Amino acid sequence: MKIVKIILTGCGGVGKEFLQLIADRSEEIKEKYGLDLVVSAAVDCCGAAIADSNSGLPVAELVDFVKKGNEVQTFSTYGKDGITGVEVIAQLDADALVEATPTNLIDGGAARGHVFEAIDKGMEIVSANKGPFVLFYKDVFKKAREKGCGLHISAATAAALPTLDVGIICLAGTRVSLAEGILNGTTNYILSEMRNKGTAYETALKDAQKLGIAETDPGYDVEGKDTANKIILIANRVFGKTLGLADIKVKGITKVTPEDIETATKNGKVIKLIGTAKILDNKIRLSVTPKAIDEKHPLALINGSQKAITYMTDTMGSITVTGGKSSPIGAAAAVLKDLINAFK
């Protein structure tokens, strides 16, 4: 039995669901994978709960506590007010960082410090947070290689959809020439409603917000930024590059009209917001744009808030993966999967 000591940073939606999965499935994970996943600390913005023994925190009690709206630093005798994530990582002897704080694409936020400190400690990095990897991938990757740390970020590249698992593991040994995907559920829902029901863009957006598919401020999604961040991370991991926001052209769906949808339909096409990474003239070209694709294309069949990715390879042909929950529990499940695969 291998004991894996974990520091969780971020106890929001994904963090809470991750703790719940650990509480519910720890015995199953021991039996199936030979891993004893121990949560040594759970950190949030105002403090942390830190275990006082090698057996870790009582996770079932902790998750019930935080799901009732309580803050981790007030949890029983384990709470420590005001301590930061970097301080916790520096002080504890842990094997893995699970980074689940909110994504910050301006300066990386607290996650930047968490990731670099954890790498300094030689920990495996499992992240649902895109920020440090989109903004500082070159530096993170270089430092992780020097320290022998693994970077596991599939939860940051379309949550439960196994984009990186397929691209890195399942296609190992192939030459991938193209990765293109529908990587944002909000935009796909809007475009699906516009095509299938003739709904106007603004109406489809409001419906998505009512259903909880779109945020109150949907700009990050509809302007293509979320898709851009995900395809950058996918390209870096699959093609072994260190690309960033300066390397991608981005166009969202805000100017797609019912007339555009109608014209595409008449021509046997379907408009989808596609994130693309392709090899052209021996360079990786990145783009995000609403694209009219043939209605027989695998991505044309993806409706509602579903997501999908297609890889083109030299020896295995075209591989498409679809589905996966777009939700905190879906992202938490991807985090748990990455954690298990890092240590099993």
Pairing of strands 124-127, 2-9: unpaired
H-run or E-run covering 222: helix 219-222
- Between the alpha carbon of residue 71 and those of residues 8, 44, 208, the distances in Å are 14, 8, 31
Q: How far is CA 80 from the centre of its chain?
A: 29
Q: How far apart are the C-alpha atoms of 338 and 131, rounded to whole Å?
A: 18
Pairing of strands 318-322, 248-250: unpaired
Among 16, 225, 230, 291, the one annotated catalytic: 230
- Between the alpha carbon of residue 102 and those of residues 14, 15, 73, 128, the distances in Å are 9, 10, 18, 9
Token output for 245:
């926001």
Count CB-CB contacts under 10 A for residue 178.
15
Write the burial class of residue 313 (CB in 10 Å: 0-12 exposed, 13-18 middle, 19+ buried). Answer: middle
- Only one residue has tokens 């019930």, namely 64
DSSP code of residue 103: P
In the structure, how many helices (H) and strands (E) does the chain have? Answer: 12, 13
Determine whether 230 is an active site residue. Answer: yes
Residues 6+ apart with CB under 8 A from 15: 8, 9, 42, 44, 98, 100, 332
Q: How far apart are the C-alpha atoms of 161 and 164, rounded to whole Å?
A: 9
Q: Do residues 250 and 221 touch, judged by C-beta distance below 8 A? A: no
CA angle 255, 260, 261 (to 5 degrees): 110
Active site residues: 230
